[in-house]
Amino acid sequence: MKRMLDTVREYGVRDERVLAAMAEVDRRSFVPEEYGHLAYEDRPLPIGYGQTISQPYTVARMCELLIQKSKGKSQKYGRVLEIGTGSGYQTALLAKLFDKVYSVEVVPELARRAEFEIRNLKFENVKIKVGDGKEGWPRYAPYDGIIVAAMADEVPSELVNQLISGGRIVIPVKGEMMRGEKRDGKIIWEKLGSFSFVPLV
């Protein structure tokens, strides 16, 4: 795991709370057994149903972008909406960074598996449901942050509606990582480089 963390640092992730969370959550717990020997490599791995667990750097960078405020300072948010639970690895990291985590997964089998791992690790601040991520989770809105772990063709309007004023959304759109901050009902966007993800469905 140390090598994985060293790699993430070398790629430019600096937020110590993100790095501490990664040191405390064992990625191997969320990787299928046949890929266990690759758990600490900086690469995506198959988790079944056409989905992957993202490479550690990508997960770390997205979490950092979500919590990093202006002037490089970080702030702990109250509640976060995650679209694309997948393996549950990013969900567990978010549970270290946020008071409440609400996660939506479209594949029922993955949602059940992720929930099992999350409960096994004794996280009590996470709720997972099966559903269409593009619709968000209105019941617990508004959210201080929204993070989308799948490539979108466009930003779903429902997600924007469920973001609190001053909140942030991190989402890959058409190959580009985007970070938006909601101000006066509108999103101010930044483009932050190219990334690869499975499509948002």
For 117-140, how does the pLDDT look when each residue is reduced to its tens digit (9 = 90+)? 999 999 999 999 999 999 999 999
d(CA 44, CA 200): 17
pLDDT in tens, 50-83: 899 999 999 999 999 999 764 445 555 699 999 9
Structural domains in the chain, CATH included, are 2-194 (3.40.50.150)
- pLDDT of amino acid 75: 53
Spans of the chain below 70 pLDDT:
69-77, 195-201
Written as six digits, the tokens of 15 are 């937020």
d(CA 21, CA 2): 13
Rounded to two decimals, the pTM is 0.92
Sign of the C-alpha dihedral computed for residues 19, 40, 117 and 178 taken in this order: positive
Judging by beta carbons within 10 Å of its beta carbon (0-12, 13-18, 19+), is residue 43 exposed, middle or buried? middle
Which residues are catalytic, by number? 54
